[in-house]
Amino acid sequence: MRPCQICKQVRSVAPVSFHRNVGMIVARRTYTLRGELCKSCMNRAYGEFTWRNFLQGWWGMISLLITPIYFLMNTYSFAAARYRLRDALE
């Protein structure tokens, strides 16, 4: 049991890293979230990173390639973290 890095409550946490891309035609930006999060914060963060990727990710050549890769990486990280917390209470 350690404090969650988002809500600061001491709960069962697992490490996750999420990425999202913001495409801007010729440029792009990447946002990364890395930390030990509790179940409900990782649900929220995963949801936010997923829809922002779909909303803002596609606008550009490289972005078009990177957005689905980020989506897969996030999903993998999320699934692994959920598996580690499978017995944890919400």
Residue 81: closest CA among 35, 20, 25, 28:
35
For residue 44, the minimal CB distance to Zn ion (Å) is: 8
If binding is defined by CB under 5 A, does position 81 make contact with Zn ion? no
Q: Are 2 and 13 in contact (CB under 8 A)?
A: yes
- DSSP characters over 49-87: HHHHHHHHS-SBHHHHHHHHHHHHHHHHHHHHHHHHTTT
One-letter amino acid for residue 44 of the chain: R
If binding is defined by CB under 5 A, does position 41 make contact with Zn ion? yes
If binding is defined by CB under 5 A, does position 16 make contact with Zn ion? no
Closest to Zn ion by CB, 17 or 59: 17
Considering only the stretches 19-27, 34-42, 45-53, 69-77, report the one whose residues sit in contact with Zn ion under the rule CB under 5 A.
34-42
If binding is defined by CB under 5 A, does position 7 make contact with Zn ion? yes
If binding is defined by CB under 5 A, does position 45 make contact with Zn ion? no
